[in-house]
Structure 1
Amino acid sequence: MPEVYHLIVNPAAGHGKAPEFVQNHVVPLLHHLGIAFELHETKGVRDAGRIGAEILTTTSFPVKVVIAGGDGTAHEMIEGVLKAERDKKDQALGRWELVILPLGTANALFSSLFPQPPEPPSEPSSLVSYLSDTGPDVLYQLSSLLASLKSTTPARRLPITLTSLESPISPPTEPIQSHIVLSTALHAAILSDSEALRSSYPGLERFKIAADQNLGVFFKADVRLIPPHSGKIKQYDPSVGNWVDPFTFGEDTLSGPFAYFLSTTTTPRLEPSFVISPLLATLPPNPSDPPTMDIIVLRPLRDPAVRSALASRGDEAASETWKSRIRQVMGWAYKGGGHVDLTYPAHRGETEVKGGGEVVVETFRCGGFEWVPTDAEHEPSHIVCADGSLHTIERNGKATVQVMDPGHDNSDDGFWVWA
């Protein structure tokens, strides 16, 4: 069958420019190349999921899908496809090749796949003349589409994380999928509180307010790390600049409290300059190995200054001491991801880069984790964020998070992205 591109256009994404961009740049390009396409425009929240489910049951594979929106549009589409595949027991998932156009409010996946280049991306030789008058900004936004048209390098697998919320009195939830970030603690709390502030502070200021409200919070939970489908849990050691066997905990359990806990499979950066998980780029997973996630962890009671403040002056002093520390650590994430190399001072003072003290940020590469809140009354410890959508763990419950196993018999099934 002739190749068909499915264009999923979200007119509500970002500043509402997706339909215009697609009509002005994508449609003429595909017409020029004689490539067939079907145009799907979303009509509301989660409609990208409905469209994805329809494509699943009406097309042959592999299928190419152009996402004209942001991370949220891609999330909805993948979620809809996986739910339809689960509901239809005899339906194979098939191979989905995604083209990402960064036209949303959040474009973390695209920013990671295509860090802003000093020069425009190269276009296929057949398009040099056609694109000669196209500006560098538009060419940059077309990077993923141009990669799919060149096909000189294969598409990259897009690992999908599945989260199940469990409690003693309820059956596990249907898996919650994410492809950008799965977080708890500070990152999830900021998003939760920022929603509560939206009516009073509709702009980006609400995120700063929410961050200030939560920087000193200790999130009460224990975590069990899960190995990859075949392999071992690894931890980054800044003293050697590489992955080693875990060295900051015993067995596979991390005892709380936590301040920061964020996992990602694909995106070193959540913003163009905020490189929260740099090792995905500098020490990337082997594409032939089972999929893994990188987890960024901050546990405040590992900080000698916080422990001293807690012992001598109590909880409030420990919280204030930690606020100063975490601001400093997060600042290094804006310096190329240097926070993963920070170590605590031997006595007092500032953190050091690859010093002789204990690591500040615990960075793990594994197959998943269980997050088990240890204080039923502390609601912020029960919040889970999956690609920006918020979920709550029930009392005495837990969240089990694992990278989806592509399987050995259908290793080509799943989601791939052109980069």
Structure 2
Amino acid sequence: MAVCVVYNPAAGQGLAEQLVREHIQPRLQSWMNVDPSKPEPIYCATNPKAGAADVVRHLSALSQSWTCILLGGDGTTHEFIEAAVQRFGTDLSNLKLVLVPTGTGNALFQSHFGPGTSDNDQWRLASFEAFLKGDAESLEPLSFLQVDPSNRIAAVVASHALHAAILRDSEMLRSDYPGVERFKIAAEENVATWFDATLVLHPLDQGCVLKYDPAVKDFKPTSAAFDDYLCHGDGRVEVPGVFVYMNAMLVDRLESDFIPAPFAGVLCEPHLRRPPNAVDIIVIRPYRNPRVQALLKQGDDTQEMRNEYAQDVVQPVLFEGMYKGGIHVDFTYTPDGQVDIQGSTEGPRVVEYFRASGYDWLSSADDSQAHTTCVDGSITFVTQTHVKLSPLWVSPRY
């Protein structure tokens, strides 16, 4: 077994470098002193231009077992995994990751270990400690998404619609607004935008696409009986647009308190937890709203209607649901199109929560906004995106 320590010097305002110096190096030295046959670790700082991708060359061929201790955020993890897949293919069974979160969101780590405080070194080093102890029970498979035609890899999220637009526009605002304010500005600019596309969901191994049913607090096979889905004989489910929100999640949260997919992490009930062979897909479609339906029948397809929907629906879902523990999965519409955050009314569900093995995002050729795809923060522009769950590889539980 070979050991490689990869750290991003810029992560956490120097936190990664500090943890390497104060914790990782001394503990690894003690680990080797106990057994002199253990390998001398390789230490690699990420390149500001190439990111973590540059250090993959140190892994040589994966003919032997490698353990990579990775200090950084979700961006660093994404760069490393994507570069490893591009160099060695999707069979990474000889590669084990030990994550030490030092980034901003740390979504992958938190979805496996739960959130922690910024000053809690014990929380940050939990996976590292499991590695030192040789804790075999901490090993678990890690899913990732293969996104084509851009040939990108997602370990956290592939998104379209609002989330992708925010990431796209926030990057263009970075020079003027280097802090988190740029995300708020980008959200305000895009929250009233509707995205014209068709979503085709691919079935799981059991032959169907699942959908969360709040009435029974469980996932059930998706049916077209009471919805506008087109269910194909091969198990695919076609979901017509337009869309406001469409995120394919391998984690429950994108920030410590922002939880779009509450069943994709470890803090939910075990029977609801996303299995390694599935991706959780969160959708908001305006045409399900009773008031929008009434206005469209009257021919009132206006920007004012979109602004109203953003204020009355999208903002409550984000701030009263996703930022409140993920309770948006229970929200329903009242007859006049308002959001019942208690979910006590019998109206349509505001959020559709699917579980599938992959999907196709087929955006309208006439809607350039719908062409934006976000893959773990990287932006591409294509009219059709095809996403499938890649083979699994074993990784320490974070």
TM class by smaller structure: 0.7 to 0.9
Deviations 1:71-129 (A, max 9, x none): 1111111111111124xxxx9633321111111233111122222359xxxxxxxxxxx
2:28 and 2:207 mapped to 1: Cα distance? Answer: 43
What secondary structure, in the 3-state scheme, does the structure 1 residue paired with 2:264 have?
A: helix
Q: Which piece of structure 1 moves more, 195-204 or 213-222?
A: 195-204
- Shift in alpha-carbon separation, 1:10–1:288, aligned structure 2, 3 A: closer
The answer to whether the 8 A contact 1:14-1:103 is kept is: yes
Q: In the alignment, which residue of structure 1 is the partner of 2:113? A: 114
2:200 and 2:73 mapped to 1: Cα distance? Answer: 32
The answer to whether the 8 A contact 1:215-1:323 is kept is: yes
Letter in 2 for 1:254: V
The answer to whether the 8 A contact 2:91-2:391 is kept is: no
Query: How much has 1:310 moved relative to structure 2?
Result: 3.7
Letter in 1 for 2:124: Q
Do structure 1's residue 398 and structure 2's residue 388 form an aligned pair?
Answer: no
Query: How much has 1:191 moved relative to structure 2?
Result: 0.6
The answer to whether the 8 A contact 2:139-2:394 is kept is: no
Kindly report which structure 2 residues correspond to 1:197-212, keeping only aligned pairs within 5 A, or say none.
197-212=173-188
Instruction: Choose which of 240, 243, 255 in structure 2 pairs with 1:255.
Output: 240
- Shift in alpha-carbon separation, 1:204–1:256, aligned structure 2, 3 A: same
Deviations 1:229-273 (A, max 9, x none): 4542100001111001114323110000100000112x1111111
The answer to whether the 8 A contact 1:230-1:290 is kept is: no
The answer to whether the 8 A contact 1:307-1:318 is kept is: no
**Seq. identity, %:** 32
Structure 2 unmatched runs, 5+: 33-37, 232-236
Letter in 2 for 1:37: P
Instruction: Choose which of 251, 273, 283 in structure 2 pairs with 1:297.
Output: 283
- Shift in alpha-carbon separation, 1:315–1:53, aligned structure 2, 3 A: farther
1:274 and 1:232 mapped to 2: Cα distance? Answer: 29
Query: How much has 1:70 moved relative to structure 2?
Result: 0.8
- Shift in alpha-carbon separation, 1:57–1:184, aligned structure 2, 3 A: same
Structure 1 unmatched runs, 5+: 119-134, 166-172, 407-413
Letter in 1 for 2:347: G
What secondary structure, in the 3-state scheme, does the structure 1 residue paired with 2:391 have?
A: coil
Q: In the alignment, which residue of structure 2 is the partner of 1:244? A: 220
The answer to whether the 8 A contact 1:290-1:405 is kept is: no
2:336 and 2:91 mapped to 1: Cα distance? Answer: 58
Q: In the alignment, which residue of structure 2 is the partner of 1:83? A: 86
Instruction: Choose which of 340, 343, 348 in structure 2 pairs with 1:354.
Output: 343
Instruction: Choose which of 392, 395, 398 in structure 2 pairs with 1:416.
Output: 395
TM, length-normalised to structure 1: 0.84
1:286 and 1:95 mapped to 2: Cα distance? Answer: 30
What secondary structure, in the 3-state scheme, does the structure 1 residue paired with 2:114 have?
A: coil
Do structure 1's residue 147 and structure 2's residue 147 form an aligned pair?
Answer: no
Kindly report which structure 2 residues correspond to 1:229-378, keeping only aligned pairs within 5 A, or say none.
229-247=205-223, 248=227, 249-251=229-231, 252-265=237-250, 267-281=251-265, 282-283=268-269, 291-312=277-298, 313-324=300-311, 325-331=313-319, 332-355=321-344, 356-374=346-364, 376-378=365-367
What secondary structure, in the 3-state scheme, does the structure 2 residue paired with 1:16 have?
A: helix
Query: How much has 1:11 moved relative to structure 2?
Result: 1.0
1:190 and 1:58 mapped to 2: Cα distance? Answer: 37
Q: In the alignment, which residue of structure 2 is the partner of 1:138? A: 121
Q: CA RMSD, aligned part only?
A: 2.3
Letter in 1 for 2:52: A
How many equivalent pairs are there? Answer: 376
2:175 and 2:297 mapped to 1: Cα distance? Answer: 40
Instruction: Choose which of 192, 196, 216 in structure 2 pairs with 1:216.
Output: 192
Kindly report which structure 2 residues correspond to 1:23-172, keeping only aligned pairs within 5 A, or say none.
23-34=21-32, 36-57=40-61, 60-61=64-65, 63-86=66-89, 93-116=92-115, 137-150=120-133, 151=135, 153-165=137-149
What secondary structure, in the 3-state scheme, does the structure 2 residue paired with 1:275 have?
A: coil
What secondary structure, in the 3-state scheme, does the structure 1 residue paired with 2:242 have?
A: coil
2:126 and 2:377 mapped to 1: Cα distance? Answer: 25
1:287 and 1:59 mapped to 2: Cα distance? Answer: 33
Query: How much has 1:366 moved relative to structure 2?
Result: 0.4
Deviations 1:155-183 (A, max 9, x none): 12110100112xxxxxxx4x210100000
The answer to whether the 8 A contact 1:367-1:402 is kept is: yes
The answer to whether the 8 A contact 1:383-1:391 is kept is: yes
Q: In the alignment, which residue of structure 1 is the partner of 2:13? A: 15
The answer to whether the 8 A contact 1:309-1:321 is kept is: no
2:189 and 2:286 mapped to 1: Cα distance? Answer: 16
Query: How much has 1:215 moved relative to structure 2?
Result: 0.7
What secondary structure, in the 3-state scheme, does the structure 2 residue paired with 1:203 have?
A: coil
The answer to whether the 8 A contact 1:305-1:321 is kept is: no
The answer to whether the 8 A contact 1:145-1:418 is kept is: no
